């Protein structure tokens, strides 16, 4: 997990929205390209889910991670 990963999860959770990597990037001060790569990794780890072709939402697993119910060691490599 990177600092950006946690910021992506926190942004989507706190705003309770579905958003594209470009919207996420603009709000957490990373490039769209970097956030796109991280969103794909977070999706592969089960922390994010694609809402449609270009938007993501936090999964139940992502919520559990943010709540501290599971730790980074409990996740697949991100």
Residue 76 lies in a domain: no
Number of domains into which the chain is organized: 1
Write out the residue range of the structural domain in which residue 65 sits: 3-69
**CATH code: domain of residue 33:** 1.10.10.10
Residue 64 lies in a domain: yes
3-52 per-position pLDDT tens digit? 999 999 999 999 999 999 999 999 999 999 999 999 999 999 999 999 99
Q: What is the DSSP letter of 55?
A: -
Residue 78 has pLDDT above 80, yes or no: no
pLDDT value, residue 75: 84
pLDDT value, residue 74: 85
Residue 75 lies in a domain: no
Residue 78 lies in a domain: no
Q: What is the DSSP letter of 19?
A: B
Higher-confidence position of 71 and 34: 34
- Name 2's Cβ contacts closer than 8 Å, sequence gap at least 6: 38, 78
């Amino acid at each position: 997990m990177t600092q950006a990963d946690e910021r992506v999860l926190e942004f989507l959770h706190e705003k309770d929205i579905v958003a594209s990597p470009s919207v996420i990037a603009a709000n957490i001060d990373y490039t769209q390209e970097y956030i796109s790569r991280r969103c794909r990794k977070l999706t592969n780890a089960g922390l994010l889910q694609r809402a449609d072709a270009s938007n993501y939402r936090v999964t139940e697993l992502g919520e559990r991670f943010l709540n501290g119910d599971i730790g980074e060691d409990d996740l697949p490599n991100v």
